[in-house]
């Protein structure tokens, strides 16, 4: 076969693959040329001791890297891998929230002596930000954590925000602090390097909202002012962390309102991930448990291979290997 014919055959094979498996089609997100649309959801908090990434994170992310340009989503800060251009997200709390106490109401983390989260107090907010000098120069972007009952989510949600100042009460007021954080981080590193994770519909860690549709839409619209790279949102069906629930709620209004890349997460598998992309519900799909248990998830999706099962008992444990880097890849 001549070289030209070979190329045509290759291209038509590629087209076919894309049609069957949109998750494997490339996507250009800002300056990042992603080779597929499968994103690693944030999963790594407890392996970063004192919220500092440890050497074992290198293996974990390397195992889940398709090539040097694929995005990795986790918790906060994104660091350039010395061997490539991938995005890493590590602990953000130290860098971003140094002037605000951090705490959750839920089971995982509480402030010392039962103090309420800052969104339930009248402590003054000081929006001063600085990016840690040692990592700042090297990372490619930041995913701001605005989901799952963490600091910014506590401000947005009316079930946990009791403040009576300009950071509490109305929807605009509750979203003020998260938007100030986004503005500050974008000013510091450039909006083209900033994404945010949101979960307007989730209510775990005692962070629920009485009108998640309005909250989600308001945030999606407000984010446009900053021209950030992407918005990563947890599906309404994940009202709790891991159980899918029937719902008529949809992320479509947020998707339509937001002008950057839109990432969805929560309960996805290969089929409904492909369906979400085909239906225009999202540009990219994040996978949590499937990607944890299958470091070579894109390859397994490509070949429709059998998937490893996750081991829930090792989810929230600090071991540098077990339940973290010991899930096997397919034989090559
Ligand atoms: C072990 C583990 C750790 C997680 N850690 C975080 C986290 O630090 N921050 C976060 O926003 N979500 C975290 N999640 C939630 C996932 O990012 C994801 O939203 C959730 O697993 C649902 O997606 P899935 O159905 O694809 O697993 C974690 C999930 C697991 C299994």
Protein residue with its CA nearest to atom 18 in ligand 1: 288
Which SS3 state, helix, strand or coil, does residue 110 take? coil
Q: What is the pLDDT along the chain (332 residues), one digit of tens a residue?
A: 455 655 655 654 555 455 679 999 999 999 888 889 999 998 877 888 876 778 898 889 889 887 644 444 333 333 333 333 333 333 222 222 222 333 444 333 445 556 667 777 777 776 565 555 444 445 677 889 899 888 899 899 999 898 999 999 999 999 999 999 899 889 888 999 999 999 999 987 778 999 999 999 999 999 999 999 999 999 999 977 888 999 999 999 999 999 999 999 999 999 999 999 999 999 999 999 999 999 999 999 999 999 999 999 999 999 999 999 999 999 87
pLDDT in tens, 62-75: 898 876 444 443 33
Which residues are annotated as catalytic? Answer: 150
What is the rounded distance in angstroms from the CA atom of residue 193 to the CA atom of residue 142?
Answer: 6
| CA–CA separation, 260 and 304 (whole Å) | 30
Indicate which residue's Cα is closest to atom 28 of ligand 1: 43
Whether 178 lines ligand 1, by a CB cut-off of 6 Å, is no
What does DSSP say about strands 141-146 and 194-198: parallel, antiparallel, or unpaired?
parallel
From the CB of 288, is ligand 1 less than 6 Å away?
yes
pLDDT tens, residue by residue, 173-206 = 999 999 998 998 898 889 999 999 999 999 877 7
Whether the CB-CB separation of 317 and 309 falls below 8 Å is answered with no
- For a ligand 1 pocket test, name from 23, 38, 41, 319 the mutation site with the most ligand atoms within 8 angstroms of its C-beta: 41
Ligand 1 atom nearest the C-alpha of 73 is 17
Residue owning the nearest CA to atom 20 of ligand 1: 288
- CA distances (Å), 47 to each of 55, 83, 167, in order? 10, 22, 33
Q: Ligand 1 pocket, 45 CB below 6 A? A: yes
> How far away, in angstroms, is 288 Cα from ligand 1 center?
5
Q: Which residue lies with its CA nearest to atom 5 of ligand 1?
A: 43
The pLDDT tens digits for 86-127 are 333 332 222 222 223 334 443 334 455 566 677 777 777 765
| Cα of 5 from ligand 1 centre, angstroms | 45
Beta carbon of 76 within 6 Å of any ligand 1 atom: no
Burial 74-84 (b: 16+ CB within 10 A, else e): bbbbbbbbeee
Fold of 3-314: TIM Barrel (3.20.20)
Report the separation in Å between the CA atom of 322 and the middle of ligand 1, taken as the mean of its atom positions.
Answer: 17
Q: Give the global pTM.
A: 0.84
Rounded distance from Cα 42 to ligand 1 centre (Å)? 6
Q: Is the CB of 71 under 6 A from ligand 1?
A: no
């Amino acid at each position: 076969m001549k070289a030209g014919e070979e190329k045509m055959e290759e291209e038509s094979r590629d087209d076919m693959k894309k049609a069957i498996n949109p998750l494997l089609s490339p996507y250009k997100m800002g300056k990042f040329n992603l080779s597929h649309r499968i994103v690693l959801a944030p999963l790594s908090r407890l392996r970063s001791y004192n919220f500092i990434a440890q050497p074992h994170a290198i293996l974990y992310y390397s195992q889940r890297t398709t090539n040097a340009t694929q995005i990795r989503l986790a918790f906060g800060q994104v660091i350039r891998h010395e061997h490539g251009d991938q995005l890493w997200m590590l602990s953000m709390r130290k860098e971003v929230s140094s002037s605000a106490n951090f705490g959750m109401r839920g089971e995982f983390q509480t402030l010392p002596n039962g103090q309420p989260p800052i969104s339930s107090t009248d402590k003054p907010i000081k929006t001063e930000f600085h990016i840690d000098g040692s990592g700042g120069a090297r990372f490619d972007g930041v995913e701001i954590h605005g989901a799952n009952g963490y600091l910014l989510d506590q401000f947005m949600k009316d079930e946990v925000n009791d403040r009576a100042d300009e950071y509490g009460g109305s929807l605009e007021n509750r979203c003020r602090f998260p938007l100030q954080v986004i503005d500050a981080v974008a000013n510091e590193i450039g909006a083209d390097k900033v994404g945010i994770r949101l979960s307007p519909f989730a209510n775990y860690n005692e962070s629920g909202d009485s009108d998640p549709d309005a909250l989600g839409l308001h945030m999606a619209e407000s984010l446009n002012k900053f021209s950030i790279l992407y918005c990563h949102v947890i599906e309404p069906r994940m009202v709790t962390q891991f159980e899918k629930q029937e719902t008529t709620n949809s992320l479509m209004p947020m998707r339509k309102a937001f002008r950057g890349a839109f990432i969805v997460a929560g309960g996805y598998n290969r089929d409904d991930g492909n369906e979400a992309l085909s239906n225009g519900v999202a540009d990219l799909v994040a996978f949590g448990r499937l990607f944890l248990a299958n470091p070579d998830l894109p390859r397994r999706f490509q070949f429709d291979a059998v998937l490893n099962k996750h081991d829930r008992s090792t989810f929230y444990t600090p071991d540098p290997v077990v339940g973290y880097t010991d899930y096997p890849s397919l034989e090559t």
